[in-house]
Amino acid sequence: MIRFTKVNKWYGPDHALIDIDVVIPQGEVVVVCGPSGSGKSTFLRTINRLENIQEGRILVDGTDIYDPKLNVNRFRQKIGFVFQQFNLFPHLNVLDNICCAPIKVAGKSKAQARALGLQLLERVGLEHKAQAYPQQLSGGQQQRVAIARALAMEPPIMLFDEPTSALDPEMVGEVLQVMKQLAKGGMTMVCVTHEMGFAREVADRILFMDAGRIEEDSVPDVFFANPRHPRARAFVADLSGH
């Protein structure tokens, strides 16, 4: 479970997150949407401390993640993160990209990590690319490898930061397919995305953010049919206009 209590964050004079209060129970799939610059990515990145907050508390499975005694590296192993730009390691092949954290961080044996890596590659449909280098793959394939890499640490929580925004339209489907599979498997997921089809189909809840605040927190049916907040209404109207 992830719990935000009165979280505030500033970038210099910019108030990036304002009084965020939200609870994400275990196994829930939450989609975070909103206009650019609304603080969605910042919100997501505070959950695994890629960004620090200045005020408030964030608890993940009951642990205060800003506790000075917390081992951040061990804590981050429990949270998978998928980036917009994939960020695969270009000097390692696909299988090594997936196996490097289990071996170097979790201390698994090479054989164990390799078996796990191949199993994950099969899950994302890329077992035939194990020996390829990231630059030899299409964007969609790279993002699927990045998801497999995050899953290799067997995290109970996965965070997605606009995982399909850098992809050509024809590759979005293959990545969303993998994410849907994960959601069905009971993974706790927080996804910043503009894929409203995915939100409608998979999300348990939608958080709509604007100017650093969570303005709307509702189930997809309510969000799309009857958004309460005027900005969310404009956002949804804008979506259906396209």
Partner 1 sequence: MWDIIQNHYQLLLLGTFPQGPLGGLALTLVLSILGLCISFPLSILLALGRLSKFPPVYYLATTIVYVVRGTPLLMLIFWSYFLLPLLIGNTVNPFVTLLCSLVIYEAAYLSEVVRAGIVALPPGQAEAARALGFGRAKTMIYIVLPQAIYNMLPSIVSQFASLIKETSLGYVISVHELTSAANRLNSELLTKPFEVFAILALTYFLVCSTVTFIAHVLERRIAKRRQGQSITPSRVHRDQIYESQ
Query: Under the rule (CB under 8 A), what is the footprint of partner 1?
Result: 48, 50, 73-74, 76-77, 79-81, 83, 85, 87-91, 100-101, 104-106, 133-139, 141, 146, 149-150, 153, 168, 170
- Joined together, the tokens standing for residue 160 give 């997605």
Q: Which residues partner with 210 through β-bridges?
A: 213
Smallest distance from the beta carbon of 119 to partner 1, in angstroms? 18
Smallest distance from the beta carbon of 112 to partner 1, in angstroms? 17
Smallest distance from the beta carbon of 31 to partner 1, in angstroms? 20
Smallest distance from the beta carbon of 71 to partner 1, in angstroms? 9
Query: Based on CB atoms, which residue is closest to partner 1, 135 or 240?
Result: 135
Smallest distance from the beta carbon of 161 to partner 1, in angstroms? 10
Query: Based on CB atoms, which residue is closest to partner 1, 100 or 118?
Result: 100
Smallest distance from the beta carbon of 99 to partner 1, in angstroms? 11
Query: Based on CB atoms, which residue is closest to partner 1, 88 or 214?
Result: 88
Query: Based on CB atoms, which residue is closest to partner 1, 127 or 204?
Result: 127
Query: Based on CB atoms, which residue is closest to partner 1, 167 or 236?
Result: 167
Note whether 146 and 94 are within 8 A (CB).
no
CB atoms closer than 10 angstroms to residue 123:
17
